[in-house]
Amino acid sequence: MLIKSFRNDEFVDREKEIKFLLDWFNKIPKEILWLYGPKSCGKTTLIEYIVENELFEDFENLKPKDNYWVRYINLRGKLISSYETFLESFIKPEEEYITQKGISAGVSIAVITLKAEVLKQVKERKKDLFDALIDELNKKLKKENKKPILIIDEIQTLEDIYINGEREFLKEFLNFCVRLTKELHLSHVVILSSNTIFINRIYNEAKLKETSTFYKIDHLDKETTFKYLDYHNIPKEKQSLIWDYLGGSIYRLQKFLRDRDKFASIEDYLNKQVELALSEIKHIFIMEMENEEIDIFKQIAKTIAENGFYLLKDKEDKKFVKVVSFMSQKEILFFDPLSDKIKGNNRLYEKAFERLN
Ligand SMILES: Nc1ncnc2c1ncn2[C@@H]1O[C@H](COP(=O)(O)OP(=O)(O)OP(=O)(O)O)[C@@H](O)[C@H]1O
Ligand SMILES: [Mg+2]
């Protein structure tokens, strides 16, 4: 395990994932790559680290490594309510954009430019946006021999957006991604989502399944977690206990390192966190769930507490599926569409499941 510095903070491990992604980018684009994993496990941080440190020689001055041509669009927090707002946010006229000064590197790589004339045609619906983008990428490749990589985070934001009232934007966007990878081998496409119910829908669409690879970014494993705790001088005899309560969630481990001094002991801290997780779940029960749904959830939670996971079977009662879906949206459960296994979104919730009755 390595600890590097990223944005004046620590960047923990992820060597395996970085290697996987860099190997991926060195191959000819043939499939869309989907990155998924539990909430807050570090998907966005990982991809941003890779973009800024592995795909650029000098990120601030936008000097790419190895002829990469990278575009990274994070849709979180963006108010994309229509096709028009998407265009406004991410597609800019080349002539104007290049002359603008003082645009930060992060903003620059979130924008794709088209010739003003072409963009006008797109806005007037005389030219298809995706055809125009493919033309643009083709030109780039031919003239400058670039290796394009397109990365989109929080893709589910594009659901329920329509072009012309009836064409589904997300569908067309994913079609575009299939063309870029499987059909034209023009550009790599990496898509991230923290919403595995959404990923599950995609995974079950034959066309996308055949044209995609799904790669899970998980919490840290046990060995790496222990090394990380060693690095922060946490006594060996406490490490198993911390692993049992927090698992390898980097977010939870960092929070523990920040806050533990405010508590009488490590045990006290961990216990308090489980209580908070438990009250979060009970709050959802009271505010948002029917009694029957609560009973179903308790059955699932009990199985997870006892066996480590709950397996969603093919012929599962619809009501179970609904509860799993709801509690995954609430980020209490994590549903892995590839294995159909359901766990707590992180270990702390599983400890809370032990106390549910
Ligand atoms: N490898 C890492 N090293 C250090 N800190 C990390 C690492 N990965 C994640 N973090 C920290 O954990 C927190 C959550 O990470 P991040 O937002 O990247 O997760 P995510 O999986 O993208 O979450 P979401 O499911 O909400 O999209 C952040 O505060 C981030 O700084
Ligand atoms: Mg994220």
pLDDT > 70? residue 101: no
d(Cα 88, Cα 105) in Å, to the nearest integer? 18
Pick from 72, 251, 328 the residue to mutate for probing ligand 1's pocket: most ligand atoms within 8 Å of its CB. 251
The answer, yes or no, to whether any atom of ligand 1 lies below 6 A from the CB of 195, is no
Decide if 110 contacts 73 (C-beta within 8 A). yes
Decide if 73 contacts 39 (C-beta within 8 A). no
Q: What is the pLDDT of residue 99?
A: 61
d(Cα 106, Cα 134) in Å, to the nearest integer? 23
* Higher pLDDT, residue 228 or 318: 228
Decide if 188 contacts 226 (C-beta within 8 A). no
Question: Per-residue pLDDT tens for 103-151?
Answer: 889 888 999 999 999 999 999 999 999 999 999 999 888 888 899 999 9
Pick from 44, 191, 228, 231 the residue to mutate for probing ligand 1's pocket: most ligand atoms within 8 Å of its CB. 44
Decide if 63 contacts 52 (C-beta within 8 A). no
pLDDT > 90? residue 326: yes
Decide if 30 contacts 181 (C-beta within 8 A). yes
Question: What is the Å distance from ligand 1's center to 291 Cα?
Answer: 34
Q: Which residues pair with 330 in a beta bridge?
A: none
d(Cα 327, Cα 278) in Å, to the nearest integer? 13
Mean per-residue pLDDT for 278-296? 97
Question: Per-residue pLDDT tens for 36-46?
Answer: 999 999 999 99
Type of residue found at 219:
H
DSSP-based three-state secondary structure for 357: coil
What is the overall mean pLDDT for the chain?
Answer: 93
Ligand nearest to the CA of 195: 1
Question: Per-residue pLDDT tens for 197-236?
Answer: 888 888 888 888 899 999 999 999 999 999 999 999 999 9
Ligand 1 atom closest to Cα of 12?
Answer: 3
Residue nearest ligand 1's atom 25 by CA: 39
Maximum average pLDDT range among 164-173, 211-220, 313-322: 211-220
Question: What is the Å distance from ligand 2's center to 42 Cα?
Answer: 7
Count of all residues that appear for the chain in the document: 357
Q: What is the pLDDT of residue 261?
A: 96
Ligand nearest to the CA of 216: 1
Q: What is the pLDDT of residue 217?
A: 97
Question: What is the Å distance from ligand 2's center to 157 Cα?
Answer: 12
Q: Which residues pair with 310 in a beta bridge?
A: 342
Type of residue found at 93:
P
The answer, yes or no, to whether any atom of ligand 1 lies below 6 A from the CB of 193, is no
d(Cα 174, Cα 336) in Å, to the nearest integer? 21
CB atoms within 10 A of CB 225: 24
What is the share, in percent, of the chain residues with pLDDT greater than 70?
A: 98
Ligand nearest to the CA of 258: 1
Q: What is the 3-state secondary structure (H, E, C) of 76-111?
A: CCCCCCCHHHHHHHHEEEHHHHHHCCCCCHHHHCCC
Q: Which residues of 243-254 are buried (b: 16+ CB within 10 A; e: fewer)?
A: bebbbbbbbbbe
Decide if 117 contacts 133 (C-beta within 8 A). no
Q: What is the pLDDT of residue 167?
A: 84
Mean per-residue pLDDT for 77-87? 88
Residue nearest ligand 1's atom 8 by CA: 42
Residue nearest ligand 1's atom 29 by CA: 251
Question: What is the Å distance from ligand 1's center to 130 Cα?
Answer: 31
d(Cα 229, Cα 253) in Å, to the nearest integer? 8
The answer, yes or no, to whether any atom of ligand 1 lies below 6 A from the CB of 12, is yes
The answer, yes or no, to whether any atom of ligand 1 lies below 6 A from the CB of 220, is no
